[in-house]
């Protein structure tokens, strides 16, 4: 059995679901093929910081009701180091914009529901076993057996571990930053009013609110470390030490709901398209989580791609031909700032390098031009 559609989409993350919703709003037939179950897609905890452009896309296209109802604005971040703590109210710096905090699993749940309400079709639990970019075809396997789906165009939105990116024969530029984080999700309210970045000789620590009841913490760990080596007591001891709770107040504790290792690496394809296949989100470019850009890039690329597909189906293929050229400059700007954040937050090198890092923090604390640079790049893409 072969399923035919106009735009076939691999992956039901933010990129694939925003793209699918925007196309359905234009009356374009779509089919989404996703390897995870619906429950897995709607419960996996990921990033929760939406930039103003992402919030605009969601709101303008009728996809932001949940975000507007349950999300909240965030415009301050704090840095802790050996010289104390300082806050940056980035809502009053740079372009004067803020983030919207809304957990990605909640956004995905909203997008799935809206897509189905718009008449969309999702094949959950379908593992893609083959991709043909020349015929916009995927072969997949699900509980019913082997299946084939084909479209006029194929959008690869199945992430950095998906199969569609391997079907684009262009070179991919890669950077392993030599840094790993233990990502910890805790069932407790946030302990600080702001997102907090702690610079410590033992390694970076971070605090990010996800909801009124859940907080995300990050701990820098040695490359190759494993989550099982970090029992609860060791996690809290490291957080207390690196976040300097003796000086700034104790953390609100709760059960550890999730612990996983995140390796900070980046990867960008020289092009995001090949024949009838077009990549978006992490399938197109992987970015380290140090600056909260991944989901935001995915949403913006989905908007660009939806506009290009719509134009092509109406006879104008110029926006589709220019898709990679349109997206790559903002991807590289985001990559550059992500690398800047990595260098700022993580101890590395000799005493000279550590002194430079300390000087960067002092400049960020004291220099308005430096603060404006940070604010503009932290919020925007």
Catalytic positions, written as ranges: 74, 197, 289, 293, 378
Residues sharing a CB contact under 8 Å with residue 15, sequence separation 6 or more, in sequence order: 157, 280, 281, 282, 283, 298, 299, 301, 302
* Residue among 144, 197, 117 nearest 33 (CA): 144
SS3 for 317?
coil
Structure tokens at 129: 């076993």
How far is it, in rounded angstroms, from Cα 310 to Cα 321? 13
Q: In what order do the strands lie in the sheet with 273-274?
A: 122-123, 30-33, 7-10, 153-156, 277-279, 273-274
**Cα dihedral 242→243→248→253 (10° resolution):** -120
Structure tokens at 175: 């950077």
How far is it, in rounded angstroms, from Cα 360 to Cα 345? 10
How far is it, in rounded angstroms, from Cα 351 to Cα 359? 12
- Contact, 63 vs 120, CB < 8 A? no
């Amino acid at each position: 059995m072969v399923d035919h559609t106009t735009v076939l989409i691999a992956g039901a993350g933010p990129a694939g679901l925003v793209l699918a919703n925007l196309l359905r709003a234009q009356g374009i037939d779509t089919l989404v093929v996703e390897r995870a179950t619906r429950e897995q897609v709607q419960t996996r905890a990921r990033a929760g910081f939406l930039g103003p452009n992402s919030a605009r896309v969601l709101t303008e296209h009728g996809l932001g009701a949940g975000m507007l109802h349950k999300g909240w604005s965030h415009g301050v971040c704090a840095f802790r180091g050996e010289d104390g703590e300082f806050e940056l109210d980035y809502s009053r710096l740079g372009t004067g914009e803020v983030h919207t905090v809304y957990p990605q699993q909640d956004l995905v749940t909203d997008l799935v529901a809206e897509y189905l309400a718009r008449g969309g079709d999702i094949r959950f639990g379908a593992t893609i076993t083959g991709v043909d970019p020349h015929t916009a075809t995927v072969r997949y396997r699900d509980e019913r057996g082997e299946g084939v789906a084909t479209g006029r165009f194929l959008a690869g939105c199945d992430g950095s571990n998906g199969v569609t990116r391997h079907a684009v024969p262009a070179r991919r530029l890669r950077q392993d930053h030599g840094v790993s984080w233990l990502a910890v999700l805790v069932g407790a309210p946030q302990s600080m009013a702001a997102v907090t970045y702690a610079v410590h000789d033992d390694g970076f620590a971070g605090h990010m609110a996800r909801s009124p009841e859940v907080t995300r913490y990050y701990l820098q760990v040695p490359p190759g470390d494993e989550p099982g080596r970090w029992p609860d007591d060791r996690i809290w001891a490291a957080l207390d030490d690196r976040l300097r709770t003796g000086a700034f107040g104790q953390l609100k504790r709760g059960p550890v709901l999730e612990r996983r290792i995140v390796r900070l690496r980046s990867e960008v394809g020289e092009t995001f398209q090949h024949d009838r296949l077009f990549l978006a989100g992490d399938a197109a470019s992987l970015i380290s989580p140090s600056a909260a850009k991944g989901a935001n890039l995915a949403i913006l690329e989905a908007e660009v791609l939806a506009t290009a597909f719509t134009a092509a189906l109406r006879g104008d293929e110029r926006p589709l031909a220019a898709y990679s050229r349109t997206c790559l400059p903002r991807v590289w700007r985001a990559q550059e700032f992500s690398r800047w954040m990595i260098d700022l937050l993580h101890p590395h090198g000799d005493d000279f390098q550590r002194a430079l890092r300390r000087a960067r923090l002092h400049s960020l604390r004291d220099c308005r031009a430096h603060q404006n640079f940070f604010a503009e790049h932290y919020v925007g893409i």
